[in-house]
Amino acid sequence: MSKRIVVKIGSSSLTSAEGGLHREKINFFANEIAYLHKQGYPMMLVTSGAVAAGFRQIGYTERPKLVHEKQAAAAVGQALLMQAYQDAFFQHQITAAQILLTREDFSNRRRINNALITIEELLKQNIIPIINENDTVSTDEIVLKFGDNDHLSALVAAMTRADKLIIVTDMDGLYTEDPRKNPDASKIDRVDQISSDIIALAGGAGSSVGTGGMRSKIEAARIAMRGGVNTFIGKVQQSLDLQAALEGNGKGTYFDTQLHSLSIKKQWVGFHSFVKGKIIVDDGAQEALMHGGKSLLPAGVITTSGEFHPGDVVEVYNNKEQLLGRGVVNYTQQQLLAAAGLSTEEVSRRIDAARLEVIHRNEWVSI
C-alpha cells in the first residue's frame, strides 16, 4: 500500500480576509495535492471554510457567532466550497468526493466504521475524499466541535492509518515565542514528544476568519502521534511546498513518533468515545498503567466521580490531577467507590463485579 497522506487546510488559507472563497488559493492547493496524487500517494483532504464561504452570501457583514447563523452560513457555504474543489480537481482529471462528519459520528463505533469503509473504497477507486465537519448539525452547546477541523484531521489520519498528517497554517511552524511579537523567537524544527512545555508555547487563534490556533494544531499533532502518525505543521504557499513538507524539507515543524498505529478499538477508546466519569489513582497505579503494561486494580484507586457503568469509558488522572489516559471500566461508579483501595481478594468478597480489574490493559489507552 502506498503511503497515505492527510492534508488539512483551514479557513484562513482558503478565503479572503473579508470572507468568501478565494478561488486562486483553492486552485493552488488542488494543484499541490494533485501533484502528489499523480505520483501514487493516496490523498485525503480535510478542509474548513464552509462558514467562511457562506456567510456573505447570506448577507451577514461578518462571520456569525450564533449557532443557528453559523449553521445557515455552512449550509450555503458547503455547496460553494465543494463546487470550487470539484472544479479545481477536474482540471487534473481527478474526481473528489464529499464526506461530512460530526464528533458524534466518531463516538459511535458503527457509524465511524461505515465512514472508514467509504473512505477505503474511495481511495481504492483513486478518488480524493474531501472531509469536513457537518456544521449544519453540530452544536456548540455540547463539546462536539473539532476546533477548525484540526482534531478532525488527526482523527481521520489515525483512523485511516495514514503515514503523514500535514496541517497547513499561516506560520512556518512552532516557535519558542510568538515571532510576530518577538523577532528573536527561535523556530523548533522537530518535536518527538509533546510535553506540557510544548503545549505552553502555542498561542491563540491567528485569524478572525478561522477558529483554530497553534494550540489546537499541537493538540491535533499529539492525537495523530498517539495513533502512530507523523505530523507536519507549517506553510504551504509556493509550488512544490506540499511535496517538500512530505519529504522532510518543509517550512514548518515536524512531529515525529515511534509509536505504532492503534487498533480501531483503542482509537475509539482513546479519542472518539464520550467520557462518562473520572478515576483518580495513586503513584503505584500510575506506574503500572504508564510503564508496566498492567491493568488498573481497585487497590490503586483513590476516588472517582461521575456516573458510569460497566462498559463505559472513563478518564484516569494521577493524584496531581494530570490526565493519564482513558479506558473501559468494569465497575459502576458506586461499586468502585466501595472498592477503592482494597486488595483484589477483599474486593472479590465484597463486590459483585464481572471482572476484578477496574480497567483491563487491553482496554486502556494512555494519552
Whether residues 292 and 237 fall in one domain: no
Indicate the SS3 state at residue 245: helix
CA 117/CA 114 separation, integer angstroms: 5
Considering the domain boundaries, does residue 269 fall inside one?
Answer: no
Q: Which of 264, 289, 305 is the last residue of a domain?
A: 264
Residues 258 and 278 in one domain: no
Same domain? For 293 and 210 the reply is no
Return the pLDDT at 41. Answer: 97
| Calpha distance 277→274 (Å, rounded) | 9
| Averages of pLDDT over each 10 residues, the chain, 367 residues | 89 82 95 97 95 90 88 92 97 97 85 93 98 74 59 93 95 87 90 86 52 80 91 96 96 90 82 91 96 95 96 95 94 95 92 91 90
Same domain? 360 vs 258: no
pLDDT of residue 240: 96
Q: What residue numbers does the annotated binding site for substrate cover?
A: 48, 135, 149
**What DSSP line would sit under 197-234, residue for residue?**
HHHHH---B--SS---BHHHHHHHHHHHHHTT-EEEEE
Binding-site positions for ATP? 8, 169-170, 211-217
Q: What is the pLDDT of residue 144?
A: 46
C-alpha cell read off for 46: 480535510
State the pLDDT at residue 146: 61
Ordered strands of the 43-47 beta sheet: 96-101, 128-133, 43-47, 5-9, 164-168, 230-235, 251-255, 190-191
CATH code assigned at 310: 2.30.130.10
Encoded amino acid at 230, one letter: N
**Confidence (pLDDT) at 145:** 57
**235 and 337 assigned to the same domain:** no
According to the model, what pLDDT value does residue 273 have?
A: 84
158 with 253, same domain: the answer is yes
Binding-site residue set: 8, 48, 135, 149, 169-170, 211-217
Cβ neighbours, 10 Å, residue 121: 12
Tell me, yes or no, whether 75 and 194 share the same domain: yes
pLDDT at residue 141, as a whole number: 42
Q: Are 70 and 77 in contact (CB under 8 A)?
A: no
Do residues 89 and 126 touch, judged by C-beta distance below 8 A? no
| Residue 229 in domain | yes
Handedness of CA 123, 129, 131, 134 (dihedral sign): negative
Domain that holds residue 41: 5-264
